[in-house]
Structure formats: C-alpha cells, structure tokens
C-alpha cells in the first residue's frame, strides 16, 4: 500500500474524532468570546485614559518650567477647549464600550448580539479616526502655540528666510506624518487584532442566522 493510501486510511479513521458543534452549542461560545473581547477593549480604553492623564498632568507637579508653560497655555481658550474636548471624547468612548459590553453580556438573542457587535465595531473605527484627525490638527497647533507663547522661538522663527521657513514647514509635516503613522500602527496592533476577532464572531453569527 502506497503512502497516499495510508494517509487516506488514517484520515478516515480520525475523522469521526472531530466534534461538530450544533447551532445551540456554538451561540454560547460566540457570545462568551464576544463579551470577553469587548471587556478587553473596555479595559484598554481605561488604561489609555489613565495614560493620557498622566502624560498631561504629571509634568505639572514635577517641573516648574512645565507648570509655567501649561498655565500659560491654559490661558488660551482654544487650547483649553481642545484639551477638555479631547478628554470628553475619551470618556465617551469608555462609556460606549462599557455600554456595548453590558449589551453583549445581557442579550440572549443572536440578532441583537450581531447588532451590538456592529455598534462596537463602529465605535472603535470612529474613535481611531478621531484620534488620527486630532493628531493631524494638534501638532501644527502645538507649533502655533509655541510660536505665540515662547518669545525666543518666536524671535528665531521671525528671523527665518524663505528657505529656513520651508525647512520648518517640512519638519512640521514630517513630525505630523511620523506621529500619525505611529498612532495608526498602535491602534492597528491593539484594537485591530481584537476587532478582527470580533468580526469573525460576527461572521459566525451570520452563518447561524442563515
């Protein structure tokens, strides 16, 4: 008997060992996995909120120079407004993920579970898009605030010729691009992996609904 026949015989012998799950058995498994994924996303969002708070305010308590600069920055209504708006968006994201987790955990209906997964996917995509837009806006704004608040930097830039100004603009564009790429890769890695798992669960639920 050749190797191919031996492989076929071995496959047929072990084929019956694989368990085929029924729809009623699959749904609780998908439900549990989806709830676990959204819970993980919720914890990550909490960690991110804490991280941004620490980044924003720890230097205030440990550096007199940074404290003076922040106090000056907060005198600008635009800076204060953007800071408050940013934290409100993160809090809203945390709340929506918490709400999604509760919705997925409490539902016992496949259709409602699919709807909850869809809403969670939208929340994450909009949040990532918001962060990329804010990075795109905030870095040029930071240079603008520095130009208006730092007298030395203001005087230095004011004395630039056209070539030096072009280099400065190119640096701002480059820094913005690098930060956008890093933030996109971060969310692609962290949220993207979990989102793919959630998408697989959604696809499995669609098959159960057919």
pLDDT computed for residue 15 by the predictor: 43
Mean pLDDT of 179-203: 87
What token pair was written down for 156?
């230095």
Is there a contact between 209 and 114 (Cβ–Cβ < 8 Å)? yes
pLDDT score, position 78: 76
Q: Where are the domains of the chain?
A: 25-104+113-209
* pTM exceeds 0.85 for this model: no
Classify residue 76 by its DSSP letter: S
Kindly report which listed range (25-29, 158-162, 166-170) carries the lowest average pLDDT score: 25-29
Which of these ranges, 67-76, 155-164, 181-190, has the smallest mean pLDDT?
Answer: 67-76
pLDDT-based confidence at 24, cuts 50/70/90? Answer: low
Cα angle, residue 204 at apex, residues 202 and 206 outer, rounded to 5°:
70
Q: Give the residue with greater pLDDT, 1 vs 63.
A: 63
8 Å CB contact between 37 and 198: yes
Cβ distance 198 to 117 under 8 Å?
yes
| pLDDT reported for residue 16 | 44
Q: Are residues 38 and 191 in contact, defined by beta-carbon separation less than 8 angstroms?
A: no
How many CB atoms are located within 10 Å of the residue 35 CB? 21
Closest residue by Cα to residue 35 from 107, 141, 90, 92: 107
Poorest-pLDDT segment among 39-43, 138-142, 183-187: 138-142
The per-residue pLDDT for 149 is: 75
C-beta of residue 201 within 8 angstroms of C-beta of residue 30: yes
pLDDT at 22: 54
**For tokens 């790429």, what's the residue?**
181
The average confidence (pLDDT) of the chain is 78
> In whole angstroms, what is the distance from residue 111 CA to residue 178 CA?
41
Q: What is the pLDDT of residue 210?
A: 54
Alpha-carbon distance 97 to 80, whole Å? 26
Share of the chain residues as helix, strand and coil, in percent rounded to the nearest 5: 90, 0, 10
Q: What angle do CA 73, 79, 84 make, to 5 degrees?
A: 120
* Residues 96-127 pLDDT 10s: 989 888 888 887 777 888 888 888 888 888 88
């Amino acid at each position: 008997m050749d190797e191919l026949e031996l492989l076929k015989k071995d496959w047929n012998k072990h084929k019956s060992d694989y368990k085929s799950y029924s729809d009623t058995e699959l749904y609780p498994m998908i439900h549990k996995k989806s709830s676990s994924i959204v819970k993980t996303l919720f914890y990550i969002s909490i960690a991110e909120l804490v991280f941004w708070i620490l980044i924003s305010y720890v230097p205030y308590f440990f550096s007199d120079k940074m404290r003076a600069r922040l106090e000056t920055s907060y005198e600008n209504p635009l800076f204060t407004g953007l800071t408050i708006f940013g934290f409100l968006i993160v809090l809203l994201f945390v709340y929506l993920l918490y709400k999604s987790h509760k919705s997925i955990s409490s539902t016992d209906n496949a259709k409602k579970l699919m709807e909850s997964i869809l809403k969670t996917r939208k929340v994450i995509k909009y949040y990532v898009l918001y962060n990329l837009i804010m990075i795109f806006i905030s870095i040029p704004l930071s240079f603008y605030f520095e130009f208006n608040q730092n007298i030395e930097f203001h005087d230095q830039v004011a004395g630039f010729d056209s070539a030096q100004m072009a280099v400065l603009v190119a640096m701002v564009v480059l820094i913005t691009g690098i930060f956008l790429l890093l933030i996109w890769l971060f969310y692609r890695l962290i949220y993207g992996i979990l989102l793919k798992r959630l998408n697989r669960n959604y696809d499995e639920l669609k098959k159960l609904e057919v």
